[in-house]
Amino acid sequence: MIIDSEQSAVGLERLHDRVLQHLQVIYHHVAVPQGLEQLADELVSTMGLDGDVHFPRQYANHWNQGDVVMITYGDTVLAENEKPLQTLKRFLDNYTGGVISAVHLLPFYPWSSDDGFSVLDYSSVNEALGDWDDVAAIAADYDLMADLVINHCSSRSLWFENFLKDEDPGRDYFFTASPDDDLSAVVRPRTSPLLREVTTARGTEWVWCTFSHDQVDLDFRNPAVLRQFVSIVRHYLNNGVRLFRLDAVAFLWKIPGTSCLNLEQTHELVRLLRTLVEHARPDAVLITETNIPNRENLSYFGNANEAHCVYNFSLPPLLLNTLVSGDCSYLKQWLMSMPPAQNGTTYFNFVASHDGIGLRPAEGLLSDEELDTLIATMQEFGGHVSYRALEDGRNRPYEINISLFDALQGTLDGPDEHGLARFLCAHAIMFGLEGIPGLYIHSFLGTRNDYSRVKHSGHNRAINRHQWQLAELDEALTDPVASHGLVVRGLRDLLAIRRCQPAFHPNATQFTLHLGCHLFGFWRQSMDRRQSIFCISNISNEDQPLNLQDINLIEYHQWLDLISGEHYAGREQQLVLEPYQTLWITNMREEN
């Protein structure tokens, strides 16, 4: 709600005090020249909160079962004589209408490398894609998610050029260290050297580069960097962004001698950003992108006071392993260990993304032997592997790079005829789980491995970043027997069902079912307890029997499968699930 003028002064004072508390934690060991009181005032003013202040409702869910996020680059779909963002909007309107509520538009800023994640200018739209009007057009019809690339920026940016020249803005924006510092415990997601030697107007410096030497880490010990990013957030809000993906945020704060991962200052910075953002727009959502082991990832929920959503990074490798091995034991064990998200928070589920299938989130969940088998299988299906550096200098697999459609074209025994069914099964499982589904555009389209882009770019991740010509795509999607059209129609059908079922609300109750190793199942119940849905998938390549007594259906209810429309007479009935078939058995059907 918006507070009235009589409450304004009191509200601003409370907000100032809350921001100040965050800053006291963040800068506990850092001297802030202007003082924390003044810095708090500056941040509140920069966010535009020194006038009317919105006060968010605590534990409010800003989502429902109709929310699905399409993940895409701005230039995934191209047409002659049209800006790519305009072409993308046309594609979305034509093919996703009614089943997609939000669009995660991957970095659309000017960039120098890493397909947008090495940002040159945070305030501009890449001219090759379009302009802010084109972004606003997407935001007008879909909730817009944008990346806040907060850990690093391009070595060719104005900020870094000024760092080299010892000029503002940028003079003290970047984190430096000495090769003599104890950096042995630093967790790395890449194999490149952590420090990069540069010549500046002050002499030789060593800048910190978590990801690549073109992506130089910013130094949030300098409050000027924090002020810049608060200004950037305000700018994005003004241009229609509602969901903020905090890219690589786990690496934000560095202290040599530590892992430099998930430090308390990093968590407090997320809390600070949430405070500022939700007072500017109460329905704004922060999503942390932390490709790290499961327990560490969950810590970014805080006490419902950090991220509204966390990426469910363990789901892709576990679900992939389940479907190629035909054994859901590890997926089931993991699901049972996942705490239900508090109201006001939820999981962001995905099976594939613009990056590869991360392996770190599977650490402690799958054994090294199982991971090695999975990697070898994906390599047989045309995938590549990217590595990270360990403390002892060895390299370890970090992610599998492969299109999901190709990844699911077979099992550990090799390719088979069940690829399409297996692929749709993966999404049916993901769509049913507690949380908001994120659907990568190349999964929506059933895109195959793009080896030419890998060769051209020299980067493994390009294998799953194909660019479609819209005319070619239209032809592929209208072909009644082509796999691309079958995928789109199959996913659209599932999403159309999902969006009408209150038991699929992201915060609806979820319990894991125990149906053996070949049937993966869980139960969802709507928040008003009126609707139940039993989600059961055959994750094997053989028929599997299911006795309805095993899922404890209430006898006096009428039950049906939402996907097939088949009704069930009673608990004594025994079904047979075909390979990779999914059932959504419910006691009530909700329709548009």
Q: Which residues are annotated as a binding site for substrate?
A: 114, 152, 245-247, 354-355, 461
Q: Indicate if 134 belongs to the active site.
A: no
The active-site residue, picked from 247, 406, 550, 561, is: 247
**Residue 559: its H or E element:** strand 559-561
Give the integer Cα–Cα distance in Å for 514 and 577: 16
For the chain, what is the total number of helices (H) and then of strands (E)? 17, 29
> CB of 395 within 8 A of CB of 389?
yes
DSSP 318-366: HHHHHHHHT--HHHHHHHHHSPPPPTT-EEEEES--SS-EESGGGBTTB
Q: How far apart are CA 284 and CA 288, in angstroms?
A: 13
Give the C-alpha separation, 215 to 196, whole Å. 10
Burial of 299 (0-12, 13-18, 19+ CB in 10 A): middle
Residue among 164, 149, 155 at smallest CA distance from 113: 155
d(CA 581, CA 543): 9
> How crowded is the C-beta side of 135, counted as CA atoms within 13 Å?
28
CB 161 within 8 A of CB 262: no
Give the distance, in angstroms, between the CA of residue 221 and the centroid of all CA atoms in the same chain.
27
Peptide bond into 169 cis (omega under 30): yes
CB neighbourhood size of 264 (10 A): 12
Single out the residue of 307, 321, 316 nearest to residue 148, CA to CA: 307
Binding-site residue numbers are 114, 152, 245-247, 354-355, 461
The shares of helix, strand and coil residues in the chain, as percent rounded to the nearest 5, are 35, 20, 40
In angstroms, the CA 293 to CA 290 distance is: 9
Q: What is the DSSP letter of 367?
A: -
Check if the beta carbon of residue 231 is closer than 8 Å to that of residue 211.
Answer: no
Whole-angstrom distance, CA of residue 186 vs CA of residue 166: 28
DSSP letters of 134-171?
HHHHHHHHSEEEEEEE-SEEETTSHHHHHHHHT-TTTT
Q: Are strands 395-401 and 357-358 parallel, antiparallel or unpaired?
A: antiparallel
What residues are labeled active site? 247
